[in-house]
Amino acid sequence: MGYATAKTIDADVIPVIDISPLIDGSDPVSVARKLHSASKGLGFIYVKGHGIPEEVIERAREVAFEFFRAPEELKATVRITGQHRGWLARGGAKMRDDVKADLKESFIWGYENGADGAADDHPLRGQNLWPAAIPDLREVAQEYFQLAHQVAHHLMWGFAIGLNLPENFFLRTSDRPISRASFVYYPAQPASLGEEQFGVGPHTDFGVLTVLCQDAVGGLQVEDANGEWVHAPPIEGTLVVNVGDLLARWTDGEYKSTPHRVVNSSGKERLSLVVAYDPNPETAIDAREVFGDGHVVRNEPITCGEYLEWRFAKAFSYRK
Ligand SMILES: O=C(O)CCC(=O)C(=O)O
Ligand SMILES: [Fe+2]
């Protein structure tokens, strides 16, 4: 198989899990068991029954396309800040030092706490930037964020149940979450760009949990247990949720954060809505709290905020 090609997915590798019995409280335990077993596998899950209305997703995609297709001068009015808010132009993200920069562009914003706006108490968050020329973007983006963030909350609740922990275990310090969201735009990628060019290069996600809404175009690939790339094609009505490095660390490797990448060879533009869920920055990521004091940790405890700062500094040239 050539470079950047991938195998067809096997349903056991990335299962589809209906989380509505977790959300409505009718059968949280059976959902939690499925989440637990998927997280110990590849850590990628198609989530259905998530409750985000299709109209909200459609509106978010429309406004995101309006932004990305706008002239550079407009996008430059919200150029990315040191606190990782705003427009990250093509070439601004590199998943490893020895690879080509990603082809994607992103618009990134952070969690806002009602009328107070976004907190400004950590190097990785601060005021959001909204383009004046696209007045709908703010409301539509926030609406999607709130709903996807709620899905992340339900899932964290489910993971805690699956690990036999108190159900609010992962959410004890999440009133000022450092969660952020992005609209991610992948231009069509002609083969002439070469086999080492990716929409987003192979990487694992830094944070606790990622909630991804891909469109119908396809292009996401996940590395399976044999080190082969498998397609994670769009499945209508589902979100793709994946365990990030911090949740893997919190569970001392029991839950897996698996490399993935995007190759958009469709000939069309592709758009993803991404919410990265993380709790308050001071949250201790300490596997002893999960497995008990007697547990010998493989990964030293670290706070969520310290860990993210370290990872962001490595990945984004504008922060160097
Ligand atoms: O757009 C996608 O399908 C994947 C995006 C991704 O991996 C990320 O934003 O971390
Ligand atoms: Fe990712």
Domain extent for 227: 16-319
Does residue 203 fall inside a structural domain? yes
Element (H, E) at 87: strand 86-88
Does residue 183 fall inside a structural domain? yes
Does residue 169 fall inside a structural domain? yes
Is ligand 1 within 6 A of the CB of residue 200? Answer: yes
Ligand 1 center–CA 27 separation, angstroms: 30
Rounded Cα gap, residues 72 and 252, in angstroms: 43
Beta strands 105-110 and 86-88 are: antiparallel
The strand order across the sheet containing 220-223 reads: 200-203, 260-262, 220-223, 229-231
Interval 83-111: pLDDT, tens = 889 999 988 766 666 777 888 999 999 98
Does residue 227 fall inside a structural domain? yes
Which of 262, 270, 275 best tests ligand 1's pocket when mutated (most atoms within 8 Å of CB)? 262
Q: The CATH number of the domain where 111 resides is what?
A: 2.60.120.330
Closest listed ligand to the CA of 200: 1
Does residue 300 fall inside a structural domain? yes
Does residue 3 fall inside a structural domain? no
Does residue 311 fall inside a structural domain? yes
Distances (CA, A) of 137 to 12, 77, 146, 151, 273: 38, 14, 14, 21, 13
Ligand 1 center–CA 315 separation, angstroms: 14
Closest listed ligand to the CA of 182: 1
Residue identified by tokens 């990134």 is 108
Q: How much is the average pLDDT of 293-315? A: 90
Closest atom of ligand 1 to 261 CA is 7
Prediction ipTM score: 0.99
| pTM (predicted TM-score) | 0.94
Interval 139-189: pLDDT, tens = 999 999 999 999 999 999 999 999 999 999 999 999 999 999 999 999 998
Ligand 1 center–CA 296 separation, angstroms: 33
Does residue 2 fall inside a structural domain? no
Ligand 2 ion: nearby residues, β-carbon < 5 Å: 205
Distances (CA, A) of 311 to 111, 147, 155, 205, 304: 19, 26, 24, 10, 11
- Look at the chain and report how many structural domains it folds into: 1
Is ligand 1 within 6 A of the CB of residue 105? Answer: no
